Amino acid sequence: MAINMPSSLHLIMHLMEPFYSWRNYYIASEDPSSPFFGREYSEFEFNNTVYNFYLHPQWDSIGSSTLFLKILFTDYDEQFAIIEMIGEWNDAIENDIMIFKRNIVEPMLEEGINKFILIGENVLNFHYSDDCYYEEWFDEVEEGWIALVNFQEHVLREFEHIHVDQYFVMGGELEEIEWRTHQPHHFFKRVSDLVMKRIG
């Protein structure tokens, strides 16, 4: 299954770094409770690819060959995490939601995280299978929520097509947040306010 992306995008994927301006607040590889604690990075060795297109080495592998991410911020007191994603979300072939749920989400749930903000402007496509892992994740956040921010319109349509949108808070103002201009707690409050307005 080929990835559909603008013809020029694959030429710059190796230059697209995860957002780094919050590193003075949080670094996942230095957090003993993070799934990526102790991970070391190279600025020069490009090992991860999405369909033969190299990714910047600061992105973290979750065990999928198509979907990568970076945990940008975690607050265990307020029980939230902000995760930036890149690549193709492919449940049909890779079962990415199972990999993401087992390898990343579940360790974070065990640490008390129950509010997840997923930033998806660099998620290029979504290929669906079924909704069992989405339902499982939704049930396990209990009093929390999962919000999608700045996902591309065609990706959101695919979420709606398989009806997994019922497990997320997405669309509307969540697609218009200039999140890089915020500090992490301000961004969380902005998203949380929108979520509460939607589900309240």
Domain boundaries, the chain: 9-199
Domain spanning 9-199: which CATH class is it, in words?
A: alpha beta
Nearest to 144 by CA among 165, 171, 115: 115
Q: What is the pLDDT of residues 101-119, one digit of tens each?
A: 999 999 999 999 999 999 9
Element (H, E) at 138: helix 132-141
| Contact criterion met (CB below 8 Å) for 66 and 94 | yes
Query: What's this model's pTM, rounded to 2 decimal places?
Result: 0.91
Q: What is the pLDDT of residues 180-192, one digit of tens each?
A: 999 999 999 999 9
Q: Show the low-confidence residues of the chain (pLDDT under 70).
A: 1-15, 43-47, 52
Length of the chain: 200
3-state secondary structure of 170: coil
Q: What six digits make up the tokens of 151? A: 């996902």
pLDDT at residue 6, as a whole number:
46
Assign residue 111 a region (left: φ > 0; alpha: ψ between -120 and 50; beta: otherwise): alpha
The label of the residue with tokens 């695919």 reads 158
Alpha helices in 69-131 (DSSP H): 96-100, 106-110
